[in-house]
Structure 1
């Protein structure tokens, strides 16, 4: 009897796997990196609906298939509504967040629980950004990707370094060398003191600013 049910589990699993692939194909998504929180919730619901019929003998396959296609209909319906209703789109997908503007960090997000400066440093480094003076605009998209617009080489300005070998607080007061606030990226042409207060964010740590051109 157990052997027969093991064979049935294999059969059920194959059927539900094919159904899941079909539903995902019909949903129109091509990759996991494009998923929003709403879509992650849909995927989790689909996983739960598909899992039970695979190994629970008392749950008919038809029930699981019905749930999966019901979820698909709900997903398609809500997606169509969110295209027409901006507030619904923002609730489900969230908003894009400005990270860097004109070579400086956007500090209005400093108290957000999701804001991690070091994480954005890493993302920018992955795009061959050496310092913020190379970046005109950086936007965190709703799918967690980072979109970056760069200054042309001739317009690159002094900016906060992003790599550890240069992202270091100054120990002595530099002469005639621009420094960048290590928190917001504001550049001062000349500091009056090592612990000068940044007029933009009120922090007191500074690093030597760079103005090297971007190597793509």
Structure 2
């Protein structure tokens, strides 16, 4: 193994990729679209294979990087000048919560389940579905949230209200299935949950897409 050759090719690959990244734009890692992510993987693979293949020299690595850079540059031009191509290369946002209701159809298209959605909402300081008026799944995998007016500013401190203890809501039903671990966590059982469903004229968990419990507000239900 020629360590000197590997050193030179590695240094060249690093500089070439760095320059290519600067030329193509300043997209941050957390803002990468699926296409950007694939592009980064392929670029890394091209350089990596070139480094450890004795039959591949600097010229071949440079050619691969330049060619891929040209293709990416053409793609950027196409998406800027022709709006129709943006959905193909960048994708489009999905409204996963519309007017307070979770869209199962949009979640299915995005391959998103309730646990993943709740995780994304928590990253936006939203711990309950009922706080949300609209939630949009962006092309980079993050979620943008518009809260219902009752949950927007001003905060309690602005109104000089006393501090209240905050309790996390628990998901009790997900896609028609009871979450028994969470039921036990709140000290309740299946019979109690069924009674709560009946109070809202729901007679089986199979009718419920999502249900959660908050101590001060009881059970919140969204049916299919």
TM-score for both structures, normalised by structure 1: 0.72
| 1:38-81 residue CA offsets vs partner (Å, 9 max, x unmatched) | 22222222122212332333322022112212211111111111
> Separation in 2 of the partners of 1:45 and 1:173?
55
Q: In structure 2, which of residues 65, 70, 74 is the aligned counterpart of residue 68 of structure 1?
A: 65
| 1:166-204 residue CA offsets vs partner (Å, 9 max, x unmatched) | 775752524xxxx7xxxxxxxx9x52354387xxxx438
- Superposed, 1:2-151 pairs within 5 Å as 2=1, 5-109=2-106, 111-112=108-109, 114-151=111-148
Offset at residue 30 of structure 1 (A) = 3.4
> Separation in 2 of the partners of 1:208 and 1:191?
14
> Separation in 1 of the partners of 2:143 and 2:72?
26
Offset at residue 208 of structure 1 (A) = 4.6
Cα pair 1:140 1:146 within 8 Å, conserved? yes
Cα pair 1:12 1:55 within 8 Å, conserved? no
> Separation in 1 of the partners of 2:211 and 2:27?
44
- Cα distance change of structure 1 residues 124 and 10 upon mapping to structure 2, 3 Å threshold: same
| 1:10-63 residue CA offsets vs partner (Å, 9 max, x unmatched) | 122112111111111212133222112222222222122212332333322022
> Separation in 1 of the partners of 2:5 and 2:205?
73
Aligned to 1:185: none
- Cα distance change of structure 1 residues 119 and 6 upon mapping to structure 2, 3 Å threshold: same
> Separation in 1 of the partners of 2:4 and 2:116?
48
Count of aligned residue pairs for this structure pair = 188
Offset at residue 130 of structure 1 (A) = 2.7
DSSP-derived class of the 2:208 partner: coil
Task: Answer with 104-113 or 70-79: which moved more.
Answer: 104-113
- State yes or no: 1:153 paired with 2:150: yes
Aligned to 2:204: 195
Offset at residue 135 of structure 1 (A) = 1.1
Larger strand percent: 2
> Separation in 2 of the partners of 1:23 and 1:71?
10
| Root mean square deviation, CA, Å | 3.2
Relative contact order higher in (CA < 8 Å, ≥ 6 apart): 1
- Cα distance change of structure 1 residues 110 and 6 upon mapping to structure 2, 3 Å threshold: closer
| 1:134-157 residue CA offsets vs partner (Å, 9 max, x unmatched) | 11111000010111111233789x
